[in-house]
């Protein structure tokens, strides 16, 4: 029987908080794919969530393996299982492969081939294209690589519909895609010295903090515009629109403050943490609006 400490360390490689947020966007995609007041097939929701979640965890494990050396040099990551020697590299690789194969197998056997293929592409996009190449090659790593992280709502949608009306799911993709740069750039500003130390060309390292702050403001404004598209195309109603504008307005406040308060050492971190809450709440707003029984 595997010791509990080993299980805990293997789970520590999976970035469970990140996977939880990924699954939230995927599950909301599943529910939005079905006209209200109907609900999606619960077995499909369970199988799709398992498959997508395991594939996301697999990508996270491979990210740990590839980044092991730089993780040992960054205070944000030096307590992870691999740098601490709590999990061997070969164990992590086996664990990552097992999660990936199992997750993709569940999607192929119990969901549909399209969702499996798109999930596989997303896994490769994050674990290989982003982690192994883009992250170390260009300051636009987050912008380009963000496509993989923005895929889960589309995966959830295709799990239920098989690809019908996928253009609506692409609006959800756009929200996450545009959200990703300001989210990660705020963290990169907060940890700029560490990224510089390990030669990772994050935007504040290559172009400076002031330039990055302006990009955060620009992308936040773009995010607000993109976030109202579901309302404009009739996908969502006023409850979502009001929520999106309020949440976006708060995000914009953070983006303005990060530019206007250069001596505030906490503002970048606060912006990063709010961005997580923003994504969670805006997808919950989509879900609540979808099942609101009063037509506004």
**Domains in the chain: boundaries:** 1-164, 167-296
Q: Which pLDDT value is given to residue 292?
A: 85
Confidence of residue 294 (pLDDT cuts 50, 70, 90): very low
Round to whole Å and give the CA distance between 234 and 241.
11
Which of 138-142, 175-179, 183-187 is the least confident region? 138-142
Largest CA distance in the chain: 56
How many C-alpha atoms does 180 have within 13 Å on its Cβ side?
21
Rounded-to-5 percentages of helix, strand, coil across the chain? 75, 0, 25
Q: Which pLDDT value is given to residue 256?
A: 98
The answer to whether 243 and 282 have CB atoms below 8 angstroms apart is yes
Round to whole Å and give the CA distance between 9 and 55.
18
CA 50 to chain CA centroid, Å, is: 17
Domain 1-164 belongs to what architecture? Orthogonal Bundle (1.10)
Report pLDDT digits (tens) over 263-274: 787 999 999 999
Q: Which pLDDT value is given to residue 5?
A: 64
Whether the ω angle into residue 37 lies within 30 degrees of 0, i.e. cis, is yes
Q: Which pLDDT value is given to residue 77?
A: 86
Report pLDDT digits (tens) over 212-234: 999 999 999 999 999 999 999 99
CA dihedral (104, 108, 111, 115) in degrees, to 10, reads 70
Q: Name the average pLDDT for the chain.
A: 94
């Amino acid at each position: 029987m595997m010791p509990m400490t080993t299980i805990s360390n293997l789970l520590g490689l999976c970035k469970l908080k990140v996977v939880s947020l990924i699954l939230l966007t995927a599950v909301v995609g599943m529910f939005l794919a079905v006209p209200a007041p109907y609900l999606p097939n619960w077995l499909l929701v369970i199988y799709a969530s398992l498959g997508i979640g395991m594939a996301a965890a697999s990508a996270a494990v491979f990210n740990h393996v590839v980044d092991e050396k730089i993780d040992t040099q960054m205070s944000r990551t030096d307590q992870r299982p691999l740098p601490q020697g709590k999990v061997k590299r070969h164990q992590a690789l086996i664990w990552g492969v097992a999660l990936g194969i199992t997750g993709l197998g569940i999607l192929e056997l119990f969901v549909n081939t399209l969702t499996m293929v798109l999930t596989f592409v997303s896994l490769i996009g994050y674990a290989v294209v982003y982690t192994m190449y883009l992250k170390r090659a260009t300051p636009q790593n987050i912008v380009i690589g963000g496509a993989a992280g923005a895929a889960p709502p589309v995966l959830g949608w295709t799990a239920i519909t098989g690809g019908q009306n996928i253009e609506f799911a692409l609006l959800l993709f756009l929200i996450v895609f545009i959200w990703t740069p300001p989210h990660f750039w705020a963290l990169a500003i907060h940890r700029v010295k560490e990224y510089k130390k390990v030669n990772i060309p994050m935007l504040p390292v290559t172009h400076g903090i002031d330039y990055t702050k302006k990009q955060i403001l620009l992308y936040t404004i773009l995010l607000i515009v993109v976030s109202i598209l579901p309302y404009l195309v009739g996908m969502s109603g006023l409850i979502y629109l009001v929520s999106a504008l309020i949440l976006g307005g708060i995000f914009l406040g953070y983006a303005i403050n990060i530019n206007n308060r250069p001596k505030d050492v906490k503002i970048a971190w606060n912006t990063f943490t709010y961005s997580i809450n923003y994504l969670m709440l805006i997808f919950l707003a989509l879900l609540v609006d979808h099942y609101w029984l009063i037509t506004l």
